[in-house]
Amino acid sequence: MSTPDPAGRRRGLIGVALAMLVACTVYLPRLGADGLVDSEGHRAVTGWELRDRVTAGDNDLLVTTLFETPYLRKPPGVPWLMALSAQAFGESAWSARFVSAMAMILAAGVAAIAAWAWFGSAAAIWAGCAQALMPLFWQSGRAAEIEAANNLATQVACFACVAAACARPRGIVFAIVPFAMLLAIAMVFLMKGPASATVLIAILLATRLLVQRSSREEARAWDREWGWIWGAIWGFAILGLVFIANRLMTVDQAVTQAPSAFLFEPGKIPQILAMPFVALASALPMALLMPAVPPSPEDRRDRIALSLVLGCLGGVVLLALVGVSNPRYAMPAFVLLPPLAGYAAVRYREFAAGRPLPPGEARRARIYGRVLVRQGVAWLIALMVGAQVYIWAIEPARDARSGERAGLALAEFVPEDAVVYAHELVEARPEVLHALRRAANCHVVWAYPFDGAPGLPEPGGYVAIRTDGAVGSREIDAFERAGLADRIEPIAGGAVHIFEFTLYRVRRMGPAVDQ
């Protein structure tokens, strides 16, 4: 039985608390100072509509909507969280972004706790701060997007897998880890579908490989204890996915997007080949920690560290093998890196204290000790200053890309309870139409052209049409081809970032749109 270490427990708890505090300084300041931009409106407005529907008595949580049209391009997990945040804090950019910010603050705590459990209490502060200050996560952790929540769920699932294979928990922890794994995998698929599947597969293969390398006897023991558990977990996860997929397939005229849209395309082979290298570069400076881990693990801590490295690299390589060209989709793999900061710091301190190490490992400990531990305060200050520069000097520029002010300007031209149809403007900047709907107390309908033809609301209704001439957005040409252009008259216009649009009023009846 191990002897309780009150001092170590205090160090670990202080490390976790300080790491989460550092994360708060990165992810909470001026969180709602700017309007929704880019695809934030698709996430936030979907969550707000879900909250309104539940309040009105509609408890179908699986089917999310965007301007009254079923919107199933993304799983419902993040809209659920944004609906809860809006219920607690009100409907605002701050409440929508708070979901991502809270996910990153919790991720810092998870990284600190994992490093504490695996490498000792002194590792907690290093790992937690590495997670909180990793530049790769700043933008997504401060946006109303799905990446941060998905990264947190992926992190918990992967760390549970590592704990089961390399840390070999016993007692109550043995019972908790499988449930944590099952819950985390379920959350991964609810947040971003199969986007993190490659990381989950890579970490499972890496940990099993390292157990096999350790000893055949230990591998057989792992198979007896955990093999059936992992099989049951993945079985439950797959059954849940099948159930959800069957339910969503019954939804008529839903806006969807197949995962194949992000996979292999012959014209993107150079980008696919370059993706792993670009992704690793985006993960700097934390990616520099990977060579600190010896390729031949000597003890349990080395096996844990190596499993994190192999899981990260394997997840990125598997993404490239399935044809993903966008390095942004490799982000979930890099949640495995922060505990390595704690590992490197602890190993150096042991080396500095006189513990004998093999020559190769001693060399690594010396290098990383000088770079990381001795300059630890400088690294901390540099990254904290960089985060504040991003928050206060770089990020405010995004407010110029928000369409909220343009939506408010349109509200003076639209009477209360009017009906406004739109399609391409919803695709480009949904926050314009949400601001219009909220300010004018009107109804906005996403008139998605399921049959390939545009339509019109009743006479007296309105149509918002993109007119910037971008490829695929010349909606007015489609109205002209359908013989509907003479039935609408322009009453107002506006521009958001690179997008231009015009609000038209319907003068007489047009063909009905089948919603």
pLDDT in tens, 39-63: 999 999 999 999 999 999 988 889 9
Question: Could you tell me the two tokens for 388?
Answer: 């504040």
* 479 bridge partner residues: none
Instruction: Please tell me which of 47-56, 57-66, 463-472, 503-512 the model is most confident about, judged by mean pLDDT.
Output: 47-56
9, β-bridge pairs: none
The CA distances from residue 93 to 81, 87, 293, in Å, are 14, 13, 41
pLDDT in tens, 105-132: 999 999 999 999 999 998 999 999 999 9
- Distance, CA of 399 to CA of 141 (rounded, Å): 17
pLDDT of 215 higher than 60 = yes
pLDDT more than 70, % of the chain: 87
Please report where in the chains the tokens 């940990």 appear, as a residue: 207
User: Could you tell me which residue, 3 or 467, shows the higher pLDDT?
Assistant: 467
Residue listed under structure tokens 């190769």: 360
- What is the pLDDT averaged over residues 336-353? 85
Q: Average pLDDT in the 288-313 region? A: 85
- Closest to 118 (Cα-Cα) out of 377, 363, 307, 367: 307
pLDDT at position 150 is 95
Report the pLDDT value the prediction gives residue 163, as an integer from 0 to 100.
83
pLDDT at 116: 94
Mean pLDDT, range 180-184, rounded to an integer: 81
Q: Residue 470 — very low, low, confident or very high, per pLDDT cuts 50/70/90?
A: low
Average pLDDT over residues 295-319: 88
According to the model, what pLDDT value does residue 261 have? 63
Q: Determine which of 102-106, 171-175, 278-282, 313-317 has the lowest per-residue pLDDT on average.
A: 171-175
Q: What is the per-residue pLDDT for 454? A: 64
Answer whether residue 510 shows pLDDT above 50: no
Residue positions counted in the chain? 515
Q: What is the mean pLDDT of residues 68-91?
A: 93
CB proximity list for 87: less than 8 A, separation 6 or greater: 51
So what's the pLDDT on residue 360? 67
Averaged over 330-354, what is the pLDDT?
Answer: 87
Please compute the mean of the pLDDT values over residues 464-481 and round it to a whole number: 78
Distance, CA of 31 to chain centre: 17
Summarize pLDDT for 191-205 with one digit per residue, the tens. Answer: 988 889 899 999 988
The two structure tokens encoding residue 330: 């490799």
Token couple for 162? 């590592």
Please, which pLDDT band fits residue 259 given cuts at 50, 70 and 90?
Answer: low
pTM: 0.91
Select the more confidently predicted residue: 362 or 98.
98
What does the alpha-carbon distance between residue 199 and residue 108 come to, in Å, rounded to a whole number?
19
Please, what is the average pLDDT of the chain? 86
Higher pLDDT, 198 or 229: 198
Out of 240-244, 324-328, 503-507, least confident range: 240-244
pLDDT at 64: 93
User: What do you get for the CA distance between the two ends of the chain, in Å?
Assistant: 66
User: 3-state class of 353 per DSSP?
Assistant: coil
Tell me what the mean pLDDT of segment 285-303 comes to: 81
Nearest 5 degrees, angle CA 28-CA 32-CA 33? 110
Mean pLDDT lowest among 2-6, 184-188, 216-220, 505-509: 2-6
pLDDT at 511 over 70: no
pLDDT at residue number 515? 36
State mean pLDDT over 144-156: 95
pLDDT beyond 60 at 249:
yes
The answer to whether the CB of 310 falls within 8 A of the CB of 206 is yes
Of 153, 167, 155, 182, nearest to 77 by C-alpha is 153
